[in-house]
Amino acid sequence: MNIITHIDERIGYIQINRPERKNALTSAMYQTMAETLKSYDADNSVRVILLHGLIDMFCAGNDLQDFLQNPVTSNDAPVVQFLFALRDLKKPLVIAVNGVAVGVGVTMLLHADLVVVADDSKFQLPFINLALCPEAGSSLLLTQRTGYLRSAEKLMLGEFFNAQEALEMGIASRIMPHVEVLRYAQHQARHLAEKSPQAMRATKTLLKAANADALRDAMDAELLSFGQLLRGADSREAMTAFFEKRQPNFQ
């Protein structure tokens, strides 16, 4: 199974498990995660959600072959439903990151309440390299956390950055040694699960309230631009160059 889910000690687990493709996400995987997030959010036996990948890989972003076969044409697309489910979660979300996080593997972290990353993990926001724009509200959330210049650097250059930068930018809340990441995330999730669920829900709602409308507007604008760019010639050239392992030529 590419997405493994289970509930234990009032924690709802979601594991990305596709090692042969570096945990690249397909439409079917997005659909499963979106449905699971909504199910956990409505399940009174679940108080905290913990999302993680493998010991050496968190998420390589979209599976581009699957992405081209299942393009985002409306808000009903599984990837959009997944992003909306992240945005609208009422229960605390903990994410543990080992290895590499790319694209949506990074932007999903902006919706978590606690992000634990390995000290050797690497991050990349490569949308510009595919002639695409930011998604998942990252054009708003990243700028709010780290300022315009640092956000522009990461989103306009699309280069890798390390765990310390992720911490400084407000993408990560804690850096841990590689072997301790998941254990520490579970430890913190158990602490969260011991708190009053009503008070936890109210706290998260209040923390996000002031930004809720702006985030919806930003995600709507991103989706519109993303769809337009995805249908454009530059994106087709970038995708072709990626598969042909060459530099794109934007004429």
Q: What percent of the chain has pLDDT over 70?
A: 100
How confident is the model over 195-206, as pLDDT tens digits?
999 999 999 999
Summarize the confidence of residues 21-46 as an average pLDDT: 97
The domain 3-177: what is its CATH number?
3.90.226.10
Q: What is the 3-state secondary structure (H, E, C) of 126-185?
A: CHHHHCCCCCCCHHHHHHHHHCHHHHHHHHHHCCEEEHHHHHHCCCCCEEECHHHHHHHH
pLDDT of 72 reads: 77
Could you tell me which of 85, 81, 109, 64 has the C-alpha nearest to residue 223?
A: 81
Mean pLDDT in the chain? 95
Longest dimension (CA), the chain: 58
pLDDT of 38 reads: 98
Phi, psi of 180 (to 5 degrees): -100, -5
The residues spanned by each domain of the chain are 3-177
- Using CA atoms, how far apart are residues 79 and 60, in angstroms rounded to an integer? 15
Neighbours of 173 (CB within 10 A): 17
Q: pLDDT-derived band of residue 68, with 50, 70 and 90 as boundaries?
A: confident
Summarize the confidence of residues 66-88 as an average pLDDT: 89
Q: Are 164 and 136 in contact (CB under 8 A)?
A: no
- Segment (H or E) for 54: none
Summarize the confidence of residues 114-132 as an average pLDDT: 97
Summarize the confidence of residues 119-136 as an average pLDDT: 96
pLDDT of 69 reads: 83
Instruction: Examine the pLDDT at 173 and tell me if it is beyond 90.
Output: yes
Q: pLDDT-derived band of residue 244, with 50, 70 and 90 as boundaries?
A: confident
Summarize the confidence of residues 135-159 as an average pLDDT: 96
Instruction: Examine the pLDDT at 155 and tell me if it is beyond 90.
Output: yes
Strand 48-52, strand 11-16: pairing:
parallel
Sheet holding 11-16, edge to edge: 3-8, 11-16, 48-52, 93-97, 114-118, 174-176
pTM of the model: 0.95
Summarize the confidence of residues 56-77 as an average pLDDT: 87
Phi, psi of 36 (to 5 degrees): -70, -45
Q: pLDDT-derived band of residue 99, with 50, 70 and 90 as boundaries?
A: very high
